[in-house]
Structure 1
Amino acid sequence: MTSPVRALWDAPAATPAPPRRVWRDWVLVGVVPVLALVEASVRPGVAWSWLWAVVLAALAPTLLWRRRHPLSMLAIAFTVGTTVGLVVGGDPQLYTAAYFLILLYAVFRWGSGRAMIGGAAIVVAGMLLTFAASPPAVADVIGGIAVAATTATLGLAVRWRRGALARQLEQVRLLEREQLARDLHDTVAHHVSAIAIQAQAGTAVAATDPGATAEVLRAIETEASRTLREMRAMVGVLRATDAGLVPTPGLAALRALETTDAAPPAVTVSLDGDLDTVPPAVAAALYRIAQEAVTNARRHARGATRIEVQLDVDAAGVRLVVADDGRGAASVDPGFGITGMRERAALLGGSCAAGPSGRGWSVTAQVPRAGWAS
């Protein structure tokens, strides 16, 4: 087989799987026999009209299984119809026979590649046998082929369109899952890391300095409350019918990262420039980058006593630097945190780099104004 034919032959059935049957199918099965009998009674000049009416009425139940077994139902209907046509010496002249096109449509809409090839072969063979038994006019031949081809094409078009929509929805789901994963990682990891560090500090001073222990417990309570608030906000975003009503963290929220408590390292925040000119989406992304960078510094910077967060807004854009004075590794494999920071910056047309700088480690993110103006 040639490559296109092989690809069609191996094509799976349409997904998602079709419904077994719906109420319209029962209506159709109930209406077709009535139409066939009524048409036979009002068109007495049609040859073998009552025989064809009975045949068409008897084959109507094939419509009930056309989605789950499209090739089988098409084969039954066309084989019986062609056989009766060869016996009486002509194809059915009743308009009700047009419902056979629904069976043909179902093969190309729901069937596998093998079913489509088999269905096309059955239809072609039926036409050739009928034409050989009673040669029709050229116009009738062209018309019959055109109608069958149009029906099959319509089935393929609907199938392709529904498949494209399903793939698009799946892509949206994947993007939403990635966004949710980034937000969960940035938010929860930041606060939980702070809680873990405070707990370690409290354990170290519990026996010698009860006052410091109480201060550490208050810091843990504060971080836990922030975690709960942000988790509730994220759940609210997921449940909200209008996500635009839920506020997102801005650049001013970077002040909340600042800490001067007993548990090192201390975090200082410096903001410079006109913060109000930065769009909310850019501000939220930079906030998450800073939050993740501070979390990483707290977790991985050995011996760090200070973390500096510096954000500058100028005519060129925004530049964020998060640096610590600890002993970081010379290089690290990018994990979820670094990957998430780079993705956030890249989505805004900017960049984010992380690596050793001087004594410690630094994360530098830059978002040009061209990135958020486009």
Structure 2
Amino acid sequence: MVPVRRSLWHEPRPRDAAPVGRDDVLLGGAYAVVALLEGALRPDLTWRIGVTALALLLVPALVWRRPRPLVAVLLAWGVAGLLAGLQLSTDVGDLGLDAMTAVLVPLYALARWGSGREIAVGTTFVAGVATLGMLATSATWTERIGGIGLLGLVVAIGAVFRYRADLGRRQQVEVRNEERMALARELHDTVAHHVSAIAVQAQAGGVIAASQPERAAAILAAIEVEASRTLAEMRSMVRALREEDAVDYAPQAGVADLPALARPDGTPRVVVSLDGALTRLPRPVDGALFRLAQESLTNAVRHARGATRIGIEVRREGDVVRLRVVDDGRTSGSDAARHGFGLRGMGERAQLLGGSCTAGPGAGGGWVVEAVLPVEGPA
């Protein structure tokens, strides 16, 4: 789907426009103190009391600048426009306090937290007030250009911080999406492996239940163990996602845990072979090897018809580790397609670590999955 570009008019308000906080109240209070002191200490100021009272109207504008940026701009710059109009119409001395340069703060807030419509309305209003102020003070062209540049700079700074905040939110979304994909792979690898083992044991139990009831009881016990493991691993993942405090995580399964997948007396028989220096592998590579082997074993148990043996071999070859999972079953092209997201997830897992993963029929029959991962992980 092609994304639709929004115009500035339809730009929504950023989500980080927080309500009034303690800092906002402190800013408003500090401005009020400065304005009162300046009004009291400037004997040359015309209409001192009235001008100081009008200047204090900026206090609520500063306090509400984030949740109500347009209202803050209209109030602050409305006061500035009123003073400029009085000065232009009465031809008296300077009617403004230096403290009223604080009108730039609501303008920044408008560009930072306002919606597109609020920015359009507010900047138009500010432009009109600024024009009136330049006429009231008989500013030179140099002063006018400097004033316009200052207003543009304030708006630009607000827009830059707005863009950076939006970029940060987008990066957080991308990180969360990557975490969801990783979690989906982990859930698929874990649950599919255990459920496949449960299904195989249940099928075997149904066959021998009538003739060998004692073996059927052992198979039911094995099914119970596999189901308990599945629930335990799923609960561990969900708990890690839901708890905000520190969690005591179990060590990630790795190459050292591969012998636990062996089933020398099962049907099919699962044999695990480890060769070479396979200790102290980087945790991502170590965990990926286990998950790739586990997923390959799950696919073999599911789809390799008539398989009697599944071999899992991990071998260190220089700077890479090679994983081979081979079965002697009959696997057609349609069976391979039924691996679904398993093969795709295995390939993605290997590529993230700078390696590769291939799967296909073996030269002597059966199905072969081979993964090659660099020992040091991706460059």
Structure 1-normalised TM-score?
A: 0.87
**1:356 paired residue among 351, 358, 361:** 361
SS of the equivalent of 1:62 reads: helix
Identity %: 43
Flag the 1:145–1:240 CA change in 2: closer, same or farther, 3 A: closer
Deviation of the 1:164 alpha carbon: 2.1
Report 1:212-361 matches (<5 A): 212-228=215-231, 230-231=233-234, 234=237, 246-262=250-266, 264-276=267-279, 278-330=281-333, 331-332=336-337, 335-357=340-362, 358-361=364-367
- Counterpart CA distance in 2 for 1:121 and 1:91 is 25
SS of the equivalent of 1:44 reads: coil
Flag the 1:34–1:355 CA change in 2: closer, same or farther, 3 A: same
- Counterpart CA distance in 1 for 2:24 and 2:280 is 59
The one-letter code sitting in structure 2 at the alignment partner of 1:306 is R
**2:111 paired residue among 108, 113, 129:** 108
SS of the equivalent of 1:117 reads: helix
Flag the 1:99–1:296 CA change in 2: closer, same or farther, 3 A: same
Flag the 1:240–1:9 CA change in 2: closer, same or farther, 3 A: closer
Asked whether the 8 Å contact 1:265–1:307 carries over to 2, the reply is yes
Deviation of the 1:151 alpha carbon: 1.9
Asked whether the 8 Å contact 1:274–1:314 carries over to 2, the reply is no
Flag the 1:240–1:135 CA change in 2: closer, same or farther, 3 A: closer
Q: Would you say 1:121 and 2:120 are equivalent positions?
A: no
**2:139 paired residue among 136, 146, 151:** 136
Q: Would you say 1:83 and 2:82 are equivalent positions?
A: yes
Report 1:162-181 matches (<5 A): 162-181=165-184
Q: Would you say 1:367 and 2:366 are equivalent positions?
A: no
Where structure 1 has 5 or more consecutive residues not aligned to the other structure, the ranges are 1-5
Residue aligning to 2:51? 52
Asked whether the 8 Å contact 2:13–2:116 carries over to 1, the reply is no
Flag the 1:241–1:71 CA change in 2: closer, same or farther, 3 A: closer
Flag the 1:129–1:29 CA change in 2: closer, same or farther, 3 A: same
- Counterpart CA distance in 2 for 1:273 and 1:367 is 14
- Counterpart CA distance in 2 for 1:174 and 1:129 is 51
SS of the equivalent of 2:57 reads: helix
Flag the 1:241–1:79 CA change in 2: closer, same or farther, 3 A: closer
The one-letter code sitting in structure 2 at the alignment partner of 1:136 is A
- Counterpart CA distance in 1 for 2:186 and 2:378 is 24
SS of the equivalent of 1:25 reads: helix
- Counterpart CA distance in 2 for 1:230 and 1:336 is 20
Deviation of the 1:231 alpha carbon: 4.1
Where structure 2 has 5 or more consecutive residues not aligned to the other structure, the ranges are none
Deviation of the 1:290 alpha carbon: 0.6
Asked whether the 8 Å contact 1:85–1:91 carries over to 2, the reply is no
Asked whether the 8 Å contact 1:14–1:159 carries over to 2, the reply is no
The one-letter code sitting in structure 2 at the alignment partner of 1:152 is V
Deviation of the 1:225 alpha carbon: 4.4
SS of the equivalent of 1:35 reads: helix
Asked whether the 8 Å contact 1:33–1:53 carries over to 2, the reply is no
Asked whether the 8 Å contact 1:63–1:73 carries over to 2, the reply is yes
Report 1:20-39 matches (<5 A): 20-39=19-38
The one-letter code sitting in structure 2 at the alignment partner of 1:61 is P
Q: Would you say 1:184 and 2:195 are equivalent positions?
A: no
- Counterpart CA distance in 2 for 1:333 and 1:129 is 74
Asked whether the 8 Å contact 1:8–1:114 carries over to 2, the reply is no
Structure 2-normalised TM-score?
A: 0.86
Asked whether the 8 Å contact 1:13–1:110 carries over to 2, the reply is no
Deviation of the 1:160 alpha carbon: 1.9
- Counterpart CA distance in 2 for 1:76 and 1:26 is 17
Deviation of the 1:94 alpha carbon: 0.6
SS of the equivalent of 1:353 reads: strand
- Counterpart CA distance in 2 for 1:223 and 1:334 is 21
Matched length = 367
The one-letter code sitting in structure 2 at the alignment partner of 1:38 is L
SS of the equivalent of 1:276 reads: coil
SS of the equivalent of 1:219 reads: helix
Considering only aligned residues, what root-mean-square deviation do their CA atoms show, in Å? 2.8
Asked whether the 8 Å contact 2:83–2:96 carries over to 1, the reply is no
Deviation of the 1:40 alpha carbon: 1.3
Asked whether the 8 Å contact 1:49–1:94 carries over to 2, the reply is no
Asked whether the 8 Å contact 2:268–2:310 carries over to 1, the reply is yes
SS of the equivalent of 2:45 reads: coil
- Counterpart CA distance in 2 for 1:12 and 1:52 is 37
- Counterpart CA distance in 2 for 1:195 and 1:182 is 20
